């Protein structure tokens, strides 16, 4: 049985991330093996979770992967690399806030029901007394299928304030499992797309996470929280498996040559797939590398801020999201790697780029030269583009066949302006919030670049197709 609980709140900004991270750090300090999870498409919060837990933060998003995979992915994360004593799942937005226009779907409550997990509510009690109990009662009663098992009061002003809050909550029969005072010095810095990623804060982030663990351990009844987590019933669904996912992935519709019987790749050599990492490219789901490995690739990390060459033998490149606009000067100054990426793409090797990856492949970003794989100019703007998308592949690519339907999300404050000689087909077609159909992204040769973020666990055929294309590139001998 996986002991588990979901950390939720009435809305964003109540302190879910601080409490969830603090719980992970506090229980880890007690010697428990803890497994971190995050509801929604977020990449940044799982970085703080991972720092506290010492293992990857896993994302659970029904929109991206399908609700039928949530329990399996949860169990996979809770068992990898070793079985956890406790899983802490941080929610998204308010407890009952789901995908726009789709009711509860992809809400914290939705995932809590799928996991059959009790909910620990975090409530910001600033300038609030008895009304906190009314809010908790409303959230707890809104959907009787969701079990609110306790409350953590956050930003409590004084002993008297705490007494008023506890008395009010005692009236509705929901236990208070902790009360945190205001600790503004523990706030994590934010910028245009949310919290600053862990990879950019290094030692400072380590200190913050450690301090959160200490504060939570002092202010929260950890024994009661653990008892609540252990009240979750057994889950009958088996753990998700990357190898099984690629084994049963549907046909990709893109044919690449198989190696002959005497070729090294037929004898077990894996094509090398480089995955961008480092401070500029922190947005990646752990399952991406797992699926690539299961599909037959040797996955190696490359840091475009510091590495001047691609890993030896690179036959494919995956560049996820992040903040290249923050590091545009450093990325541009690494001309050697920019040339290597451009040569790899020109050789026909597959390149998959999402959001930040798209910007890196552009001709320039905010006036600074990038890789020039795409004849595109990218610029930072004030406008935030955000939302779930259901997209159809316009044409066949190294990722998916034409007509394939995927679910992803957009999250950026940049825009791209194709040049006159862009020479690329669109990657996706979808209907925007206004109902108008639009195309997005670029496909040229075996390069697929788009603003759309995908979770490959929801589309394991992408890994199968991508590795097949990388193997074909390795066989061709035309790589740089």
Q: Is the dihedral of CA 472, 354, 400, 426 positive or negative?
A: negative
Q: Do the beta carbons of residue 135 and residue 122 sit within 8 Å?
A: no
CA 437, chain centre distance (Å): 27
Cα-based torsion angle of the residue sequence 109, 110, 113, 119 in order, rounded to the nearest 10 degrees: -20
Q: Cα–Cα distance between 228 and 86 in angstroms, integer?
A: 11
Q: Cα–Cα distance between 121 and 141 in angstroms, integer?
A: 13
SS3 37: strand
Q: Cα–Cα distance between 131 and 16 in angstroms, integer?
A: 19
Q: What ranges in 158-202 are assigned the alpha helix state H?
A: 159-172, 198-201
Secondary element (H or E) of residue 58: strand 58-60
Structure tokens of 233? 């019933």
For the question of residue 371 being annotated catalytic, the response is no
* DSSP annotation string for 354-374: ETHHHHHHSSEETTEE---SS
Beta pairing partners, 283: 321
Q: Which of 102, 100, 40 is nearest to 65 (CA)?
A: 40
Among 39, 355, 391, 470, the one annotated catalytic: 355
Catalytic annotation, residues: 355
């Amino acid at each position: 049985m996986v002991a588990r609980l979901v950390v939720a709140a009435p809305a964003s900004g109540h302190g879910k991330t601080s409490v969830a991270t603090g719980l992970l750090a506090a229980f880890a300090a007690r010697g428990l093996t803890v497994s971190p999870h995050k509801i929604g498409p977020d990449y940044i919060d799982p970085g703080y979770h991972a720092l506290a837990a010492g293992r990857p933060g896993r994302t659970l998003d029904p929109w991206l992967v399908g609700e039928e995979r949530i329990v399996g992915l949860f169990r996979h994360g809770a068992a990898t690399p070793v079985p956890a004593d406790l899983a802490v799942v941080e929610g998204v937005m308010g407890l009952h806030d789901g995908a726009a226009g789709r009711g509860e779907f992809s809400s914290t409550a939705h995932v809590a029901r799928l996991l059959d997990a009790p909910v620990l509510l975090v409530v910001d009690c600033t300038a609030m007394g008895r009304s906190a109990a009314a809010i908790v009662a409303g959230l707890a009663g809104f959907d009787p299928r969701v079990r609110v098992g306790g409350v953590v009061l956050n930003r409590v002003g004084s002993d008297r304030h705490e007494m008023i809050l506890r008395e009010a909550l005692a009236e509705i029969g929901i236990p208070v499992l902790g009360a945190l005072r205001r600790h503004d010095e523990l706030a994590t810095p934010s910028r245009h797309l949310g919290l600053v990623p862990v990879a950019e804060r290094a030692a400072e982030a380590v200190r913050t996470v450690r301090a959160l663990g200490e504060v939570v351990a002092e202010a929260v009844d950890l024994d009661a929280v653990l008892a609540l987590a252990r009240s979750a019933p057994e889950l009958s669904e088996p753990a998700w498996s990357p190898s099984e996912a690629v084994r049963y992935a549907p046909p990709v519709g893109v044919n690449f040559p198989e190696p002959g019987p005497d070729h090294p790749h037929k004898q077990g050599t894996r094509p090398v797939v480089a995955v961008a990492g480092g401070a500029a490219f922190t947005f990646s789901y752990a399952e991406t590398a797992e699926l690539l490995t299961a599909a037959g690739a040797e996955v190696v990390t490359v840091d475009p801020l510091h590495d001047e060459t691609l890993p030896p033998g690179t036959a494919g490149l995956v560049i996820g999201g992040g903040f290249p606009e923050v590091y545009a000067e450093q990325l541009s100054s690494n001309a050697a790697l920019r040339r290597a990426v451009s040569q790899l793409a020109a050789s026909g090797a597959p390149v998959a780029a999402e959001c930040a990856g798209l910007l890196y492949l552009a001709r320039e970003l905010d006036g600074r030269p990038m890789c020039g794989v795409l004849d595109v100019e990218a610029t930072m703007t004030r406008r935030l583009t955000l939302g779930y998308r259901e997209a159809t592949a316009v044409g066949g690519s190294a990722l998916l066949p034409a007509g394939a339907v995927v679910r992803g999300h957009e999250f950026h404050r940049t825009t791209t302006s194709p040049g006159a000689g862009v020479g690329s087909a669109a990657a996706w077609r979808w209907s925007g919030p206004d109902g108008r159909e639009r195309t997005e992204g670029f496909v040229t040769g075996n390069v697929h670049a788009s603003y759309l973020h995908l979770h490959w666990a929801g589309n394991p055929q992408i890994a199968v197709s991508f590795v097949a294309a990388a193997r074909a590139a390795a066989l061709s001998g035309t790589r740089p």
